[in-house]
Amino acid sequence: MNVTSKARLKIKNKTIELPVVEGSEEQFGLDISRLKADGGCTTYDNGFANTSSCMSSITYVDGEKGICRHRGYDIVDLAENCMFVEVAYLLVHGQLPTAQELNRFSRYLNQHSMIHENMHHFFSGYPADSHPMGILASMVTSLSSFYPLLSHKDPNFDITAARLISKVRTIAAFSYKKSQGEPVVYPRHDLSYCANFLNMMFSSPVACYDINPDIVTLLNKLLILHVDHGQNCSATAVRLVASARANLYASISAGICALWGPLHGGANQAVIEMLNKIKNDGRNIHKYIQKAKDKKDDFRLMGFGHAVYKNYDPRARVCKRLCDEFLPKLGIVDPLLDIALELERIALEDEFFISRKLYPNVDFYTGILYRAIGIPTNMLTVMFALGRLPGWIAQWNEGVESSTKIYRPRQIYIGPKKRAFIPIDKRKKERAHRNIH
Ligand code: CMC
């Protein structure tokens, strides 16, 4: 930890000094870990929006400039030049793989792609309309029963990471097949990571899936664009659960649950639902812009705004470009794309969105791209999870390796002060006395 200077803080009559820590990209933070002991108080930071909960060398995000780098590499360069498996390796190991390392990692992905046959029964127990994110979270927790030995102490974390990345892909495809009432399609050793997933999703005993290299390329890029994003809600959930020394599966499962929320990764599903609603409501875009601005209306423009980016999300910029490039290539004309483009144009000219620095985020265009691949709307957040998995694994590993303290935020208590106990037969009268019904 690099302490560059000290800040002086006066609390009531006491002055205390707080070390100022510096990161590698000129980010500064006040180390307040002794604030309670030395100054008698804690900080209050709703949603931890201004709190750095850890030191991390995985992802750097500059929200003002719209920069996102993984292990020092720009996300745009990675999406342009890499396969998803290479980027997964980068996240987990800290450097891009050599050809030999990539071969080994890919071999592990193949070797560990099947799930235990007994797990197949689990899928049948869910109602047909179950959300695949719920199934995914449960299945990942269940892996701990079938592969209990996995831990970061495994001398070969490569295998642990590859096993999880590979099996989660299989689980995702199986949950889709089960929801369709179709037999599952097993992974194949001769296919690349993305081609394998597409084949498991769309092939059937009666019809082979013709693997389109353009779709494979697009899927690779989409997964890379989701690979990590610093201490967001799901990564924090992973690290929080890991801080109690819970196992990898339990921690990742917590991340999946956090991601499911519509303010986080669930936004990609919500965007498509919103665009469909606008389409079916006479394409009345202005009405929905007005709703988003109306403080009395709960409606928000899904896929817009970001807790960190106060500029165009670089991932959204790539996705918008991918729509231009790949939809014509795949011969797809999606009416939702026109609505999304028009929605963006109107919002970015509106003072409400300009003054609040609300721009499209990663989820705004990804649903349209996944639709072009053939992914159904309720699987969109599962696709986000597939992409994010290497990031979660890296976050888990970093947290565990750094022997992080157990996450235990404080609170400012605002409940009742100490009061006398009331026996049950006197409570009604006491409430009436206080006018509480
Ligand atoms: N539509 C309309 N108004 C918005 C939106 C939106 N999408 N986002 C923020 N605002 C307004 C909000 O009402 C508030 O206005 P005011 O200052 O007048 O009260 C102001 O902008 C700041 O909002 P906030 O909720 O304090 O901002 P935040 O940084 O805490 O929230 C966010 C970030 C992503 C939760 C929020 O922008 C949002 O709800 N967006 C829609 C959901 C979404 O697209 N989520 C995906 C996020 S990116 C990928 C990911 O994390 O998985």
Q: Give me the pLDDT at residue 134, please.
A: 94
From 70, 226, 228, 363, active-site residue: 363
Query: Count of residues for the chain?
Result: 437
Which of the residues in the chain have pLDDT under 70? Answer: 1, 149-155
Delimit the CATH 2.20.28.60 region(s) of the chain: 2-62
The question of whether 120 is a catalytic residue gets the answer no
- Is 306 a known active-site residue? yes
Q: Which CATH architecture does the domain made up of 2-62 adopt? A: Single Sheet (2.20)
Q: Measure the CA–CA gap between 348 and 292, rounded to whole angstroms.
A: 13
Beta-strand relationship, 14-22 and 28-30: antiparallel
Q: Which atom of ligand 1 is nearest to the CA of 264?
A: 52
Query: What is the Å distance from ligand 1's center to 269 Cα?
Result: 16
Name the one residue in this structure whose structure tokens are 């929200």. Answer: 63
Indicate the fold that domain 74-264+389-401 takes in CATH: Citrate Synthase; domain 1 (1.10.580)
Q: Which fold has domain 276-373?
A: Cytochrome p450-Terp; domain 2 (1.10.230)
Q: Give ranges for CATH 1.10.580.10 in the chain.
A: 74-264+389-401
Residue list, ligand 1 pocket, CB within 6 Å: 232, 263-265, 267, 292, 300-307, 356, 358, 361-363
> What local confidence, expressed as pLDDT, does residue 149 receive?
66
Identity of the amino acid at 251: S
For the record, the structure tokens of 243 come out as 């801080």
**257 dihedral zone (left: phi>0; alpha: psi -120 to 50; beta):** alpha
pLDDT tens-digit series, residues 122-149: 998 998 889 999 999 999 999 999 887 6
User: What are the tokens at 104?
Assistant: 């080994």
Given this model, what pLDDT does residue 154 score? 67
Q: Which of 306, 324, 425, 433 is catalytic?
A: 306
Dihedral of the alpha carbons of 105, 107, 110, 112, in degrees to the nearest 10: -70
* Residue 150: predicted pLDDT: 62
3-state SS assignment for residue 324: helix
Work out the number of other CB atoms within 10 angstroms of the CB of residue 318.
Answer: 19
Q: Where in the chain is the domain with CATH 1.10.230.10?
A: 276-373
Q: What's the confidence (pLDDT) of residue 139?
A: 96
Among the listed residues 234, 40, 247, 39, the one whose alpha carbon sits nearest the alpha carbon of residue 143:
247
For residue 17, give the H/E element and its range: strand 14-22
**Predicted pLDDT of residue 128:** 82
- Closest to 265 in 3D by CA, of 148, 90, 382, 163: 382
Q: At what angle do helices 213-225 and 363-373 cross, to 10 degrees?
A: 160
| DSSP codes of every residue in 237-252 | HHHHHHHTT--HHHHH
Cα 16 to Cα 31: distance, rounded to the nearest angstrom = 12
Four-residue CA torsion sign, 42, 48, 52, 57: positive
Structure tokens given for 315:
């991932």
Predicted TM-score (pTM) of the model is 0.96
